[in-house]
Amino acid sequence: MADVHQTRSQIWKVGLIILCLSVTVSVTLSYPLVTFRSNSTEVRCLPPPDLSTCPLHTANETVTPVKGSMHLMVSAYQDHRKGGATRIVAMVNRDRPMSLYCVLCCSGHAPQVVPAAVVTHSVHYGYPYVAADILCREGLGCNATHVTLSTSLYSQDALNRPFLSIQNRERREEDFPFYLTVCMSSMFGDYNNVQQFVQTMEFYKLLGVRRVVLYLTSCGPDLEKVLKHYAEEGTLEVIGWPINHFLKPSTGWEAQELEGDIHLNGQLTIMNECIYRNMYRSRYVLLADVDQLLVPVSHSSLLPLMEDLQGQHPDAAVFLMETHLFPATAGTATPDHSAQRRAPGVDLLDYIYREPVLEDAFRSYKMVVNPRLVLQTAMFEVTQNYGDTVRVPSDVCKIMQVKKAQRESWTNEQLVLDRSLWEFGDDLVPTVDKVLQKLGIQTSPWEWETLVG
């Protein structure tokens, strides 16, 4: 029996050597923004004592540091559009480029170490850390299930690092669990805007949305109760976003104005991660901020809106919806009642004056995308995609955002009266009130009849 065991062991080793020698991997991928990669095309196989031991450890946080580097991994997805390459969503330091290697757990085979191609995104607003895609090509015979990164082809502890589970291994082109998913970027600080968040969630539910994804760093105590409610209901998926454990995230825009390692709490990474997370779960994905609301004007819900838009533009992959600012300093619709009938936060129904769109002014957009046709997105536009991009007229739908006015001198006479959200008020008000009462958040009865007269 010992001879038989020895013979089998020798056969296994010979087969492993043949497999490794037969592997040819090219890392010259068809991406225009590859900024650094290993010059090596060598593939190393790592036979563990037992094939079932890979991975030894899986990452238990959304953000995982790459040992020996200043880079961070977030998640991993199989990209069927690029020959099945594994795409690691990451944040890398632009000032410290270095070669990286993908360590792949191969189902039924020995793990492999292959060179990685690092694709940094073009938009970074001057901060040292930037959103990136790290691309791994499997060697022959490897059906990868998990992946991690190493700074050396010959690392002695490659298998002892935290591995990411490779998601999206099965491709789907129809019968998605959700029609449209809202990706809400990140929430951080002591954000406690309960009134607006509940209105936003209930409004999207009225429009037919059944899944909202939120990346959470921190929030206020009242809002924490609200998030728990919607998560238990099944409408909200909360993704922990502990970026502050590893970087000093900026809470704003330009690096020249604010200190920090990465733009706006890593929002660009979040937007791209959410696209890949929902690639085969949702027909469409809306990319918007927590304080932004997609308001249909010509339709009563999102399904007929998107069906009409897609029917008019069958080759479109990206639909740009223009953002309209409703100044927080403008007069509200119900000054006599606003302080008595709201939970903590902004009551969107109060704001009916928006800034006019000036001909030479910068226009901001948020996007509804077909995630299977998007490779990479920035804040206001998709930067790499298949298919066409369509700008949707504001009389069809718009993005509503209440914030400080860009120009302090606006008067109500100069602003545009816009009651688009009021069209949904009769249904929205009682559902919001019901949630606030259920959660025990104090608010007086709604005075909607006073608003609409």
Q: Which of 167, 199, 222 is the last residue of a domain?
A: 167
173 domain residue, yes or no: no
Q: Which residues of the chain fall below pLDDT 50?
A: 1-39, 335-340, 446-453
Residue 18 lies in a domain: no
Helix (H) or strand (E) holding 40: none
125 lies in the same domain as 222: no
Do 204 and 160 sit in the same domain of this protein?
no
What DSSP state is assigned to residue 396? T
What does the block give as tokens for 303? 């399904």
Does 320 lie in the same domain as 194?
A: yes
Distance of alpha carbon 227 from alpha carbon 236, whole angstroms: 7
Q: Would you say residue 359 lies in a domain? A: yes
Specify whether 200 is located in the same domain as 127. Answer: no
Q: How far apart are CA 70 and CA 77, in angstroms?
A: 22
**pLDDT reported for residue 23:** 40
Residues 190, 127, single domain; the answer is no
Q: Do 433 and 360 have their domain in common? A: yes
Do 134 and 272 share a domain, yes or no?
A: no
- In sequence order, the 6+-apart residues with CB closer than 8 A to the CB of 100 are 37, 38, 66, 69, 71, 115, 116, 118, 134, 149, 150, 151
User: Does the pTM exceed 0.75?
Assistant: yes
**61 is in which domain, residue-wise?**
25-167
Domain presence at residue 3: no
Let me know whether 291 and 381 are in one domain: yes
Q: Which residues contact 208 (CB under 8 A, 6 or more apart)?
A: 179, 180, 301, 302, 303
- The answer to whether position 267 is within a domain reads yes
Please spell the DSSP secondary structure of 292-322, one letter per residue: EEEEESS-SSHHHHHHHHHHH-TTEEEEEEE
- Give pLDDT tens digits for 303-322: 999 999 999 999 999 999 99
CATH label of the domain that carries residue 259: 3.90.550
139 lies in the same domain as 187: no
pLDDT tens, position by position, 34-85: 334 444 556 777 665 555 678 989 999 999 999 999 999 999 999 999 778 9
Same structural domain, 144 and 253? no
Task: Establish if 377 belongs to a structural domain.
Answer: yes
Residue that is last in its domain, among 123, 147, 167 = 167
Residue count of the chain, please give it.
Answer: 453
Residue 211 is assigned to a structural domain of this protein: yes
Q: What is the domain count for the chain?
A: 2
Within this chain, do residues 257 and 346 fall inside the same structural domain, yes or no?
yes
Token pair for 187: 């929430």
**What pLDDT, on the 0 to 100 scale, is given for residue 357?**
86
Kindly state the helix (H) or strand (E) to which residue 229 belongs, with its residue range: helix 221-233
The answer to whether residue 7 sits within a structural domain is no
Q: Which of 105, 158, 140, 103 is nearest to 25 (CA)?
A: 140
Is residue 325 within a helix (H) or strand (E), and if so which, with residue range?
Answer: strand 316-327
Distance, in Å, from the CA atom of 49 to the CA atom of 56, rounded to the nearest integer, reads 12
Which of these three, 121, 144, 167, is where a domain ends? Answer: 167
Is the domain of 366 the same as that of 253?
yes
pLDDT of residue 426: 95
